[in-house]
Amino acid sequence: EPLFVLLSSLLRTFNMPFEVLSACLIGLVFFNLYGTLKEFSVDVSLSIFIYFSLFFLTNNLNIVRHGVMVSFVWQAFRFSFTGNNRKTIINIVFAGLFHYVGFLFFILCLIGHKKLPFIFYAIILIISFYLSYSAEFLHDFIARYLGGIGKIDYYLNGAESGELGDVAFTVGLYANICIFFISFFFLKDKLSVFLYNILFFGIISFLIFNVFNAFAARIAGVFYIANFFLFPVIVQFFK
């Protein structure tokens, strides 16, 4: 992806080691994290603890570009929540230039600030479970309309394994569904509604793209960051 190549090439020009590149990228992540924490977190220390426990090592020291992309997407969520469309688009573009999957999050314009009727969420969730078993249809649909974009074809063909996986409903999936419904029934403020709508997108994207393994994890994982901000609100509510 262009920005990653540009930055790494620039540092190689000055004979900088990979550790310097890593430090620059993590610096970008922390910069974006600071902005999102300031906007979304009611308990910054708990949010940071959850972030470092569940996310930091995997996404910033393993799939490095993904972590940078996620941080820019969440900056975009921040500006989407405050109604700043120009900065929302700018951050999505930066996200996509570090990892092409980031461009898919232009869908965030569909994420509402309003609480929808329970029946709406329930029906969408049931349909998503059904679509988990419709891999052939999804494969053909995505290949037709998105094939050839970035690494879409790579994920469509099973990524590293070279084949589609089996349908798998993880403990984490059910935990996220529980967090969503707890939030839905107990949290009423505008911020919480915005965050649990984002979490809901993560749940249904994981279900719909389940058999595409890494692709499902990449997409859903971005939305699941909502937990870093939702969980402290839930703790505060029950406390």
Q: What is the dihedral of CA 15, 21, 22, 28, to 10 degrees?
A: 160
Q: Which two tokens stand for residue 77?
A: 């969520």
Q: What is the pLDDT of residues 9-65, one digit of tens each?
A: 999 999 999 889 989 999 999 999 999 999 999 999 999 999 988 888 877 776 778
Q: How far apart are CA 189 and CA 187, in angstroms?
A: 6
Q: pLDDT digit string (tens) for 134-182?
A: 766 676 666 666 666 556 666 666 555 545 666 778 888 999 999 999 9
Q: Report pLDDT for 158.
A: 56
Nearest to 63 by CA among 22, 9, 17, 7: 22
One DSSP character per residue, 2-45 reads HHHHHHHHHHHHTT--HHHHHHHHHHHHHHHHHHHHHHH-SSHH
More confident residue, 152 or 96: 96
Single-letter amino acid code for the residue at 88: T
Average pLDDT value for the chain: 86
pTM: 0.87
- The average pLDDT across 198-208 equals 92
